[in-house]
Amino acid sequence: MNTDILTIAIDGPAASGKGTISRAIAAKFGLRHLDTGLLYRAVAACCARAKADPSDPEAAARIAQTLSPEDLNRADLRSAQTGRMASVVAAHPPVRAALLRWQRDFAVGAPGAVLDGRDIGTVVLPDARAKLFVTAEADVRAARRWRELSLKSDIAYRDVLRDIHERDERDAGRANAPMRRAENAATLDTTEMSIERAVDEAIRLIEAQV
């Protein structure tokens, strides 16, 4: 990989703060940003629209192979239901294979990029110049996600918490590209941090690596 291109991998579970942190890091270092979760969410939403079974690897892979940039702008991608289905399609190896090239192509363009997801530091960009694993206690993450979702829909905290636990288990337990901290990633636990403090800490941890 071209060493002039700065690639930064940010992984972590749902609602750990990695999205906000990744956008701030991209702005700070003048890089492009890809929220890779959106790719899996788009595959899930397109499955629903096509009435395809998200638990069928072949059907989901066909959709992943023909995903278009417009599919990433759909309005329903951030819903709890789409997040749940995203973690189902994300467990299929052919879906992950189809999305791998998309992610790497995005990363290698100048001046570089910040990618956030579950397997960026381990699988997508194992040679990233800087790596961060952002985490927080599940109940704190559920409270954050509930605050976001309850602005748009009537949803109970306990359902959000259950969803977070189920998604953590599915994402960390799958055989192919499970969510885990890369050995050379710095860990940032945001449980007790405001988002401003988490961003400051993330910048400090990244600056120490680049």
Give contact residues for ligand CDP (rule: CB under 6 A).
Answer: 14-15, 19, 36-37, 40-41, 83, 86-87, 90, 117-120, 167, 171
Query: In the complex, what is the shortest distance from the CB of residue 40 to ligand CDP, in angstroms, rounded to a whole number?
Result: 3
Query: In the complex, what is the shortest distance from the CB of residue 115 to ligand CDP, in angstroms, rounded to a whole number?
Result: 8
> Cβ closer to ligand CDP: 16 or 62?
16
Residue 28 phi, psi (nearest 5) = -60, -40
Query: In the complex, what is the shortest distance from the CB of residue 119 to ligand CDP, in angstroms, rounded to a whole number?
Result: 5
**Dihedral (C-alpha) 168, 14, 197, 209: value to the nearest 10 degrees?**
80
Q: How far is Cα 202 from Cα 210, in angstroms, rounded to an integer?
A: 13
Q: How far is Cα 154 from Cα 93, in angstroms, rounded to an integer?
A: 34
> Cβ closer to ligand CDP: 17 or 112?
17
> Cβ closer to ligand CDP: 46 or 86?
86
Query: In the complex, what is the shortest distance from the CB of residue 203 to ligand CDP, in angstroms, rounded to a whole number?
Result: 20
At residue 34, the 3 state secondary structure works out as: strand
Query: In the complex, what is the shortest distance from the CB of residue 26 to ligand CDP, in angstroms, rounded to a whole number?
Result: 15
> Cβ closer to ligand CDP: 134 or 205?
134
> Cβ closer to ligand CDP: 41 or 62?
41
Instruction: Show Cβ contacts of residue 24 under 8 Å, excluding neighbours closer than 6 positions.
Output: 199, 202, 203
CB 29 within 8 A of CB 135: no
